Amino acid sequence: MELNNTAQRYGLISQLFHWVMALLVIGLIVIGLYMVRLPINAWKLKLYGLHKEWGVLVLMMVALRLLWRFTQISPEYPLHMPLWQKLAAKSVHVAFYFFLFALPISGWMLSSASGLPVSFFGLFVMPDLVGPNQALRELLTQVHKWLGYGLIAALGAHVGAALQHHFIHKDDILRRMLP
């Protein structure tokens, strides 16, 4: 297996970034949707702490992934793929990068506005991006929530398109991201 991407398929490093981040993001979505419905208790606070720590990890990983992406070629689209699908695929990928930066940053700002520190697995504490501010906290709560819903929509489009290409078009779009 090649480490680098080729014109036909993604390399091992791109595949690792893709699948590890997919698991992290899906896990964060599930935890996020679950924890906000809980009454305030020790378990909810533990989940919030984990959500923040793993969110910081996603922010770091997406930065590395973007750097890696700029050093690599992308596999070519199948010849049968219409231009609108190519544009849609590119748009969803741009949306992913937007959401994967905006969500952790909005969550970090939300914690800062709440006066709650963001720890990175106990190794260090992230600096506050803003000071404690109730009105800003309320605004950022809504921003973070709706960015999350946007990410869920982009994720649904991405998975749906990959499955359509695999099962209906029977091309290699999905297979080129698998080892």
pLDDT digits (tens, 9 = 90+) for 120-149: 999 999 999 999 999 999 999 999 999 999
Helix (H, G, I), strand (E, B) or coil at 22: helix
Say how many residues make up the chain: 179
Residue 104 near residue 59, CB atoms below 8 Å: yes
- What's the pLDDT score for residue 1? 84
CB atoms within 10 A of CB 25: 22
Average pLDDT over the chain, rounded to whole?
97
CATH 1.20.950 for domain 12-177:
yes
Q: What tens digit of pLDDT does each residue of 88-102 get?
A: 999 999 999 999 999
Residue 2 has a pLDDT of 96
Judge whether residue 27 has pLDDT over 90. yes
At 51-86, the pLDDT tens digits run 999 999 999 999 999 999 999 999 999 999 999 999
In this prediction, what percent of the chain has a pLDDT beyond 70? 100
